Chain A
Amino acid sequence: MDDETVISVENVSKKYCKSLKKSMYYGAMDIGRNMLGLTSKPGRLRKGEFWALNDISFEVKRGETLGIIGPNGAGKTTLLKMLNGIFWPDRGKITVRGRVGALIELGAGFHPLLTGRENIYINGAILGMTKKEVDEKFDDIVKFAEIGDFIDSPVKHYSSGMYVRLGFAIAAHSQADILLIDEVLAVGDVGFQNKCFNKIGELKREGITTLLVSHNMHTISTFVEKIVLLNCARAISFDNVTDGIKEYAQLFTHKDDSEIERISSGNDSTKFYEVEIRKRIFKPGDSFTIVLKYRSELDYEDVDVDIAVFGAHEPVLYFQATNKAYGRKIDLPKGNHSLKMEIIDIRLNSAMVRIAIAIWSKRREVLLFWWRIPIKFEGVDYSTGRNFLNVTYELNE
């Protein structure tokens, strides 16, 4: 490990146990063995155990900002906890140079009955500050946290905003050489987040190394220089942030759910016998076209055609409207006909969505058709966010 490498993670693995009772038993066994000076053979799995992180390696240099991303349960928090020494690896080796400040939860260690002033001293001590350091930084902390007169009130009377502001203020002034930040900045309001990122920027200029865990790809792409992507207990490093984010988005589209859900294609008297969908992979700005061919023995006047676009893996509704939103009255006469629908110029970015189409008879008495069609929007380089808007640039003299 050279002088500029502040964090080095070499082939690190961590195991967990699924059952609480087993975990208790194994824990007692391991403690017993360690007390007797025997190794607890951490490198092998016992019954009911699994690798939460498996053979992870990466390095962080001084002053760098590393983003750690990955789906839920990929081991991001476990990794941060190991870097902070809360958990120890079961295999491999972690070397950390300098004092680590962890923001895994803001205000962890606050006692609700104690005042802000008392908690600043206690929390400062918990974060590894000396009395002198807290004395020196006290005014800065209070000023940054904007808690004013509340400094002498018990923190349980604080608003949640004040609570996290104080928590962040102490951690940010704790003179750490390495900051581990776990999604904590998502809690405050926008003004606070802005302030936090400015503070982190300031610390970065002073040479602090930052590790940021976030699900927010905008935060990641704005602040980090390198990425470690965790998935299924394994890690991949990216020196290019865009590549890492693309790979992350890929994780969610690889899942086997490109099946169209044909929930209803008609009833005894009406049948939608053919559905034509031209393409299923789109770039922002493309149009989605669907042609429904049907055979019906009955006349349906003034039907409702519902179209909704929602996230395939997350509860986001991008769009919903019926034909009435466009002032269109649609009748489906009996016989063989086809209904063509087109959603023009969809501007989604790196998204896996489902387009739901449902057709109801008048007053929604009979459901005639209901399909959910997954489609995929490819990502655009240098762009994050769910939408890709049409932006023009014009430089004038």
Chain B
Amino acid sequence: MIQGLQQRKDSLSMQEIVTTYEPDNSLKKGYLSIFNQIFVELKQNRWLTYQLFKRDFLSSYKQSFLGVLWAMILPLVSIGIFIVLNRSGILNIGDIGAPYSIYALLGMAFWQFFSTGLVGCSNSLVNAGPMILKINVSKKSLVIAAAGKAIVPFIIQIIMVGVLFVGYGRAPSILGLLVPVFIIPLILFTIGLGFFTSLLNGVMRDIGNIISILLTFMLFFTPVLYGKPKMGILVTLTKYNALYYLVSTPRDLVLNGAIPEWKGFLIVCLLSVFLFIGCLFAFHLTETRVAERI
């Protein structure tokens, strides 16, 4: 018994962390220390983040016959609609320089990576509401893990694209192997925005609905399922649409092995990094407020 006590004390003195809670905690400690806090928290909670991701993944496909195959259905339906619209001459897909189905499916893979991730993030805190109220769990991990929902559908869609390449007897560019690097800005953009929307959604449930509507609109205003527009208002919209660069750059890389709009992409990359850091920072300052409003 005494030995047990001694052991406990030893282990306590080794790893004992002193935590203080007081209003405006972060503000008192100064801005610079916040980056350090965020970094330490993210690093400490890597395993938790993975476990939360696993929880989302396992649970979403467990009680379903088609399981992961659902990830294929939505993009196929959207692409099908566009094929029908195009063949009947209602919609002009434009010059895309590749078989339409490959072009569209590849675009949808990146687009859905963004939309699934953003929706997942936005709902992450609200869905975990009962848990957040009972256990002090890292909310950053919850948001990041929720963005992970986009990974499995993305991989499946990439495999489908591979099948299509074989089917058409074409080969993707070897530079396509760089896709994992070129989607980093997309990931930062998604999670950064997700940090922001998850907080707002925690306080006002309207945000979740607004995001679903906006995403539908954005899909049609962004050249994902059609080529880059050459006239009309869409030209201007596309020029200032960050998502266009985030989606089309990795796609061009796979299809043609080139980045035609590298300037725009570079600007959007910087924007994504700043968005991610800014939103993570804001999230850190305000996350404790959310638990009590959820």
Residues of A within 8 Å of B92, CB to CB, are none
Contact assessment for B289 and A207 in the assembled complex, using a CB-CB cutoff below 8 Å: no
A109-B135, A131-B47 are contacts. A122–B1 as well, Cβ < 8 Å? Answer: no
A88-B22, A88-B288, A122-B51 are contacts. A27–B293 as well, Cβ < 8 Å? Answer: yes
Instruction: Please choose the segment from A96-104, A265-273, A290-298 that sits at the chain B interface, where 4 or more of its residues have CB less than 8 A away.
Output: A96-104
Among A28, A131, A208, contact of B204 (Cβ-Cβ < 8 Å): A28
Q: Which residue of A lies closest to B130 (CB)?
A: A108
Q: What 0/1 readout, one digit per residue, does chain B (132-163) give for beta carbons within 8 Å of chain A?
A: 11111100000000000000000000000000
Contact assessment for B135 and A127 in the assembled complex, using a CB-CB cutoff below 8 Å: yes
Among A16, A94, A100, A208, contact of B8 (Cβ-Cβ < 8 Å): A208
Instruction: Count A-side interface residues using an 8 Å CB cutoff.
Output: 56
Residues of B within 8 Å of A122, CB to CB, are 51-52, 54-55
Residues of A within 8 Å of B9, CB to CB, are 207
Instruction: Count B-side interface residues using an 8 Å CB cutoff.
Output: 51
Among A90, A100, A177, A206, contact of B4 (Cβ-Cβ < 8 Å): A206
A104-B134, A108-B134, A126-B48 are contacts. A207–B63 as well, Cβ < 8 Å? Answer: no
Residues of B within 8 Å of A104, CB to CB, are 134-135
Contact assessment for B135 and A93 in the assembled complex, using a CB-CB cutoff below 8 Å: no
Residues of A within 8 Å of B58, CB to CB, are 111, 113-114, 118
A28-B203, A108-B130 are contacts. A35–B23 as well, Cβ < 8 Å? Answer: no
Q: What 0/1 readout, one digit per residue, does chain A (149-166) give for beta carbons within 8 Å of chain B?
A: 000001000000000000
Q: Which residue of A lies closest to B24 (CB)?
A: A39
Q: Is B291 an interface residue (CB 8 A)?
A: yes
Residues of B within 8 Å of A105, CB to CB, are 134
Residues of A within 8 Å of B23, CB to CB, are 39-40, 42-43, 88-91
Q: Is B285 an interface residue (CB 8 A)?
A: yes
A86-B133, A86-B134 are contacts. A96–B47 as well, Cβ < 8 Å? Answer: no
CA distance in complex: A27, B203 (Å): 7
Contact assessment for B59 and A111 in the assembled complex, using a CB-CB cutoff below 8 Å: yes
Interface centre among A34, A82, A111 (most CB of B within 10 A): A34
Q: How far is the CB of B159 from chain A (nearest CB, A)?
A: 26
A27-B203, A114-B62, A126-B135 are contacts. A96–B289 as well, Cβ < 8 Å? Answer: no
Q: How far is the CB of A170 from chain B (nearest CB, A)?
A: 11
Q: Which residues of chain B in 16-50 are interfacial with respect to chain A, using CB atoms and an 8 Å cutoff?
A: 16-25, 27, 31, 47-48
Residues of B within 8 Å of A89, CB to CB, are 21-23
Q: How far is the CB of B139 from chain A (nearest CB, A)?
A: 10
Q: Which residue of B lies closest to A93 (CB)?
A: B22
Among A98, A118, A121, contact of B12 (Cβ-Cβ < 8 Å): A98
Q: How far is the CB of A279 from chain B (nearest CB, A)?
A: 48
Residues of A within 8 Å of B289, CB to CB, are 27, 30-31, 34, 40
Q: Is B175 an interface residue (CB 8 A)?
A: no
Residues of B within 8 Å of A127, CB to CB, are 135
Contact assessment for B136 and A84 in the assembled complex, using a CB-CB cutoff below 8 Å: yes
A98-B12, A113-B62, A122-B54 are contacts. A35–B285 as well, Cβ < 8 Å? Answer: yes
Q: Which residues of chain A in 162-209 are interfacial with respect to chain B, using CB atoms and an 8 Å cutoff?
A: 177, 205-208
Q: Is A125 an interface residue (CB 8 A)?
A: yes
Residues of A within 8 Å of B288, CB to CB, are 85, 87-88
Q: Is B5 an interface residue (CB 8 A)?
A: yes
Q: Which residue of B lies closest to A32 (CB)?
A: B286
Contact assessment for A126 and B131 in the assembled complex, using a CB-CB cutoff below 8 Å: yes
Q: Which residue of B lies closest to A98 (CB)?
A: B16
Residues of A within 8 Å of B286, CB to CB, are 30-31, 34-35
Contact assessment for A207 and B5 in the assembled complex, using a CB-CB cutoff below 8 Å: yes
Residues of B within 8 Å of A109, CB to CB, are 131, 134-135, 137
Q: Is A311 an interface residue (CB 8 A)?
A: no
Q: Is A284 an interface residue (CB 8 A)?
A: no
Residues of B within 8 Å of A97, CB to CB, are 16-19
Q: Is B199 an interface residue (CB 8 A)?
A: yes
Q: What 0/1 readout, one digit per residue, does chain B (119-139) give for beta carbons within 8 Å of chain A?
A: 000000000001111111100
Q: Is B282 an interface residue (CB 8 A)?
A: yes
Q: Is B261 an interface residue (CB 8 A)?
A: no
Q: Is A24 an interface residue (CB 8 A)?
A: yes
Q: How far is the CB of B199 from chain A (nearest CB, A)?
A: 6
CA distance in complex: A315, B18 (Å): 45
Residues of A within 8 Å of B95, CB to CB, are none
Contact assessment for A114 and B4 in the assembled complex, using a CB-CB cutoff below 8 Å: no
Q: Is A71 an interface residue (CB 8 A)?
A: no
Q: Which residues of chain A in 111-137 are interfacial with respect to chain B, using CB atoms and an 8 Å cutoff?
A: 111, 113-114, 118, 121-122, 125-128, 130-131
Q: Is A287 an interface residue (CB 8 A)?
A: no
Contact assessment for A40 and B20 in the assembled complex, using a CB-CB cutoff below 8 Å: no
Residues of B within 8 Å of A82, CB to CB, are 21
Q: How far is the CB of B16 from chain A (nearest CB, A)?
A: 5
Q: Is A148 an interface residue (CB 8 A)?
A: no
Residues of A within 8 Å of B48, CB to CB, are 125-126, 128
Residues of B within 8 Å of A130, CB to CB, are 47
Contact assessment for B17 and A99 in the assembled complex, using a CB-CB cutoff below 8 Å: yes
Residues of B within 8 Å of A42, CB to CB, are 23-24
Q: Which residue of A lies closest to B18 (CB)?
A: A97
A to B CB contacts below 8 Å, 8 in the list? A31-B289, A31-B290, A39-B27, A89-B22, A104-B134, A111-B55, A125-B48, A206-B7
A interface, CB within 8 angstroms of B: 16, 23-24, 27-28, 30-31, 34-35, 37, 39-40, 42-43, 81-82, 84-100, 102, 104-105, 108-109, 111, 113-114, 118, 121-122, 125-128, 130-131, 154, 177, 205-208
Chain A to chain B: the 4 pairs with minimum beta-carbon distance, closest first: A108-B134, A125-B51, A27-B293, A207-B8
Please name 15 further chain A to chain B contacts, defined as beta carbons within 8 Å, in addition to the given A28-B200, A109-B137, A118-B55, sorted by A numbering.
A27-B203, A31-B286, A35-B282, A86-B133, A90-B23, A98-B16, A99-B15, A99-B17, A104-B134, A109-B134, A111-B59, A121-B51, A122-B55, A126-B51, A130-B47
